[in-house]
Structure 1
Amino acid sequence: MPVNESITDSITQTNTKVLGDTPASAMGNLFMSSSQALGTSAYGGANDQQQAQIVMQAATVQAVNSMMAIGAAVIGRASEEILEKG
């Protein structure tokens, strides 16, 4: 049974279009996944910096508190020695 040439021509054109669109679709998918990965990475880096800043601030506060406590302890000890001798 012969098939009309316009039908076979139409199917051939459709197949050619699908094959022609495949590389563009593949690149689009690659770009989208790469963009998602880079965006997530940038978010993670900013979040890590924020958390590190909080830790550094807490460490600074603890260091200052330690220095202030040492000064008070030295003054207290010196006062105690003065009172004992006096």
Structure 2
Amino acid sequence: MVELVNPMVTDAVTQSNVKVVGEAPAMALGTLYQSMAHSTGVLFENAVSAQQQQNILAQAAVNQGVMQIYSLDTTAVAGASEKVAQTGTSDNLSSMLAVLQAFSNPQR
């Protein structure tokens, strides 16, 4: 038994199906753009978070360096720098230069 359907009903169903199929590419692109925008937002959030963590690490490193500088005994530092200054490296170098010049010019 074959039932006949009103042509107006089949036309309405066909038109709604065509409408859905016609809108599918636009909906897919809209979803794609929305997903890309969300991913880009997460990317920037992660970049800001990484920068904040780097700033915290830099501040901690500077803090440690300042604490080490302030923890040094000033008399010990002065004594060490005095020892370095009294090694006479420049005097030794000038003496060696004079000896080398004496050997290179035997007519003196």
- Normalising by the smaller structure, the TM-score range is 0.7 to 0.9
Query: Any stretches of 5+ residues in structure 2 without a counterpart?
Result: 81-108
- Equivalent-residue separation in structure 2 for 1:68 and 1:27 (angstroms): 61
* TM-score normalised by length of structure 2: 0.62
Q: Which amino acid aligns with 2:29?
A: M
Q: Which has the higher contact order (CA 8 A, sep 6+)?
A: 2
Q: Percent identity at matched positions?
A: 35
Q: State the Cα distance separating 1:73 from its structure 2 match.
A: 6.0
Richer in helix (by share): 1
Query: Considering only aligned residues, what root-mean-square deviation do their CA atoms show, in Å?
Result: 2.1
Name the structure 2 match of 1:32.
Answer: 34
What secondary structure does 1:22 align onto? helix
Q: For this pair of structures, how many residues does the alignment match?
A: 78
Counterpart of 1:57, as a letter, is Q
The superposition leaves residues 44-66 of structure 1 with CA deviations (integer Å, 9 ceiling, x where unpaired) of 11011011101101101111221
Give the greater-gyration-radius structure (CA). Answer: 2
Moved over 4 A (4+): 75-78
Give the TM-score taking structure 1 as reference length: 0.76
SS for the counterpart of 1:45 is helix
